Amino acid sequence: MTLIASAGAFSLGDRTVNRMGYGAMQLAGPGVFGPPKDHAAALAVLREAVAIGVNHIDTSDFYGPHATNQVIHDALHPYPAGLTIVTKVGAVRGADASWNPAMTPADLTRAVHDNLRNLGQEVLDVVNLRVMGEVHAPSESSIEAPFSTLADLQRQGLIRHLGLSNVTSTQVRQARGIAEVVCVQNLYNLAHRADDALIEELAAIGIAYVPFFPLGGFSPLQSSALSEVAAELGATPMQVALAWLLQRAPNILLIPGTSSLVHLRENLNAAELVLPADAIATLNAIGGKP
C-alpha cells in the first residue's frame, strides 16, 4: 500500500493533513458539469483514496454543480475522524456550463449553505474564496467585501477556517487583515511558475500553498525533459511532476484529481518518490528557472 505519510504533513489551522491529498473536480461530468459518468466508479475512487490515507479532499459545490459534493457525501458520510474537506465559493455555473462570478453577500451565504447541505456537514472545515478572473493570472482588485462576508459566516459558526484561491500577494495581505488565512490555492506546476515568490512568502508565515492544475489541468504537462527524468527513475511523468512539487517547498499540499482508480494509485505513489538533485535541476529548467 502507498505510504501517504512519506510526503509529510502540514497544518490547516487546527487541522493537520497529509501533504498528498485528492481533488474531486474530475468526479463531475464532462467539463465539470453534470453528474459523474459512472457514479459507482466515483464512489470507489473516493473510498480508495481515504483507505490509502488521504485525509484532505478538495471540492466545491459549483462542480457539477452540486454533483461532486453529493458524491462525496454518498461515498464517505459519516466522515471518518481526521478527514478535512476544503471547499470553495465565489462562482456559479450557468445553464451552458459557464463559470460566472458570484461574490455578493447573498451569493456567498447561499453557497456556504449549499455546501453544508450537499456535504451533510454542520460546519465546513475550510472555505476558500475563489476570485474569478483570468485562470492564469489573478487580477489585482479588492476582496475586502466578499472576504468579510465569509469572516462573518465564520463568526456565526458555519466555517472553521478560511482560505483564498486565484489571488495575488496583495490580496492575501488584505484578507489577513480581516481574518486568518490558512491556505492559498493558485495555478502552479512545473511549467507555470509565476507564484514562486508567493510560495516562499506563505511558507515563512505558515500558510499552506495548494496548487491547482498540478499536472497541467485541461492541458496536461508535456515535456521531453520530464519524460526523460521519469524514464530514468522508473516512474511516470505525472508522478515525477507531483514529486517535484512536494520537494519544491514544505508548505505545498497536493490535490491531484482523477476519476480512475488506476490513476489515483499512480498519483498517490508519488508521495514515496524522492527526486535526486540532478533530476530537480533538470525539472527546474522547464519553468525557466536555474
pLDDT of residue 191: 87
CA nearest neighbour of 237 among 286, 194, 195 = 286
- CATH architecture entry for 8-223+249-259: Alpha-Beta Barrel (3.20)
pLDDT of residue 290: 45
Q: Which helix or strand (DSSP H or E) is residue 202 part of? A: helix 196-204
User: Which of the following is catalytic: 22, 63, 79, 188?
Assistant: 63
Grid cell 484561491 is found at 165
Distance separating alpha carbons of residues 89 and 114, to the nearest angstrom: 10
pLDDT of residue 51: 97
* Domain residue limits, the chain: 8-223+249-259
The backbone torsions φ and ψ at residue 269, rounded to the nearest 5 degrees and listed phi first, read -65, -20
For 1, residues 6+ apart whose C-beta sits below 8 A from its C-beta are 52
Under the banding of pLDDT at 50, 70 and 90, the label for residue 25 is very high
Residue 56 has pLDDT above 90, yes or no: yes
CA nearest neighbour of 111 among 90, 133, 93 = 90
pLDDT mean over 61-76: 98
Task: State the pTM of this model.
Answer: 0.95
Distance separating alpha carbons of residues 270 and 239, to the nearest angstrom: 5
What angle is formed at CA 209 by the lines to CA 158 and CA 64, rounded to 5 degrees?
Answer: 55
Residue 197, CB half-sphere, CA atoms under 13 Å: how many? 4
pLDDT of residue 129: 98
pLDDT, tens only, 234-285: 999 999 999 999 999 999 999 999 999 999 999 999 999 999 999 999 999 8
Q: Report which DSSP code applies to 195.
A: T
The question of whether 79 is a catalytic residue gets the answer no
pLDDT of residue 159: 98
pLDDT mean over 87-111: 97
Handedness of CA 150, 155, 159, 163 (dihedral sign): positive
pLDDT of residue 37: 94
Distance separating alpha carbons of residues 194 and 191, to the nearest angstrom: 9
In this predicted model, which residue has the larger pLDDT, 9 or 2? 9
Under the banding of pLDDT at 50, 70 and 90, the label for residue 286 is confident
C-alpha cell at 189: 506546476
pLDDT mean over 183-187: 96
Q: Report which DSSP code applies to 270.
A: G
pLDDT mean over 8-12: 97
In this predicted model, which residue has the larger pLDDT, 60 or 192? 60
Question: Could you give the strand order of the β-sheet that contains 181-185, starting from the edge strand earlier in sequence?
Answer: 22-23, 56-58, 84-89, 124-130, 159-165, 181-185, 208-209
Q: What is the mean pLDDT of the chain?
A: 94
